[in-house]
Structure 1
Amino acid sequence: MVVFTAWVVWAGLDGSAPTIDATDTGYDIVGDDQVAVRFSLNVDPGTPVRCAVQALDDHFEVVGWKVVDVPASEERVRSLTETIRTVSRANTGLISKCWLP
């Protein structure tokens, strides 16, 4: 009975969380204090997501950071752009991580 109960709990939890895949697609240096980060988000329809977007300088130090709430959508794959303010000139922008809120 214990093995069956453990299997039911494991099977019930396995696969229940939506999968999230965020991919950097590009960036534009807007100026000395801003960078626009372009990324593709692949998530189950109807699932809101939160993503951390960051800007890095020539030494790969974080010069800008922003957490973005992406509302649920009926589309599985979306292309998004987020502008980040920076404390100094960035030379790149990218997705750090995405998760379920």
Structure 2
Amino acid sequence: MTTQDVLDDRYGHTPSPRRRWTISVAIVVVVAVVAVIAWIAVANAANTVEARTTAYRVVDERTVVVNFQVTAPTGRGLACAIEAQDEQHGIVGWKVVEYEASDEPGRAFSETLPTVGRATTGLVNSCWVT
């Protein structure tokens, strides 16, 4: 007989079936929540897109060329938002470009971006799976 059994006998405590059922349900709920969180984490990781600006070139008062690299899931299309900024970091050009699905996870792109004023920089703002 364990110490817990001795104490239960002494003080009249016996585990009730209702308590066991409650604990069982709580364990099942916790396991389900952990499984859902793991599923969401894996699904989000599968759609992760990383974009990095590699270069930009101000062509003239109204044009910027932005070069960038994207790492994205294979077999899925993607879209990227490209922007040009002026000296005060105001956006003077913006463009969303869509790309077809590819079997290559890493790709390089070059986009020409029209601007409404002289830009001092060009960059890829973000990319996402379509």
TM-score between both structures, scaled by the size of structure 2: 0.72
| Structure with the bigger percentage of strand | 1
1:22-61 to structure 2, matched below 5 A, reads 22-61=51-90
Aligned residues: 101
Q: Does 1:97 align with 2:103?
A: no
CA distance in 2, matches of 1:95, 1:34: 15
Give SS of 1:24's match: strand
**1:74 aligned residue:** 103
- Which has the higher Rg, Structure 1 or Structure 2? 2
Structure 1: any 5+ residue segments left out of the alignment?
A: none
Cα root mean square deviation, aligned: 1.2
Alpha-carbon offset, residue 47 of structure 1? 2.1
Corresponding residue to 1:4 among 17, 28, 31: 31
| Structure with the bigger percentage of helix | 2
CA distance in 2, matches of 1:46, 1:53: 22
Question: Post-superposition, which runs of at least 4 consecutive aligned residues in structure 1 deviate over 2 A?
Answer: none
TM-score between both structures, scaled by the size of structure 1: 0.91
CA distance in 2, matches of 1:95, 1:15: 26
